[in-house]
Amino acid sequence: MPRRFVILFIPLYLVGVGISAEKISVKSTKISMAVYAILGIVFLSNFNNTTRLNNFYTINSLMLATKDNRGQRKSANDRRLSNLFNYLNGSTSDYLPQVGKPISKKKIKSLYKKEVVANNKNFRHKVLSNGRLKLSWKADKNKKEILPMVMYKKSKLELNNKKIVPHKDSIGVPTVHVKKGYNQAILNYQAPKWFKSILVIGCLAWVVFIFIWFRKKDKFKSVLK
């Protein structure tokens, strides 16, 4: 599971652990110290593992001084902050669809790096309204073109103002027939109809949770004391 999902639950988890440890300490100081020691070891172990395995995020987030990111650190102080994104073109994919037969992780990474990351420089990108992505480029002749984008099940593609259903490879990268000269492709993702319903239910659940929390605020404080 991605860490960004787990982060939402870490505060609640720590609060629960703290309350449990506090109750245990009332009964036995030795048990409480053992619990704190175990939690400390687990925390340090996970922190070390995260730092070691995610040096890409460490370098790009904390801007550590290395030979490879001199231009990146310089662009961070540039008036045009958009230049910084030219250095954040990582070859690590996020969520990719599976089209056809499953392939190895090594093959997935190779395809993504070749067809999306490396091929990205040959196109101009523009984000349109409603989250649409526009690619524009010039072709020297009529040919097949691999577009540096990923299409999912609900994705829709327009090529030169015409809706098309392109051929997609194992990771959802489309190949289209283009004409000589200027071409443009617009990618749009249509969220399922039930998505908005789930979003509303989630917001209502948070409202109910906050309301109940405030109603039981005094009781919650008494537990912490």
Burial of 122 per CB tally in 10 Å (0-12, 13-18, 19+): middle
Q: List the 167-168 sheet strands across, edge first.
A: 143-146, 174-178, 167-168
Q: Residue 170 above 60 pLDDT? A: yes
CATH class of the domain defined by 105-193: mainly beta
Question: What's the mean pLDDT when you consider all of the chain?
Answer: 76
pTM, to two decimals: 0.57
Are 23 and 224 in contact by the 8 Å Cβ rule? The answer is no
Domain residue extents for the chain: 1-80, 105-193
Dump pLDDT digits (tens) for 84-122. Answer: 666 666 666 667 888 888 888 888 888 888 888 888 888
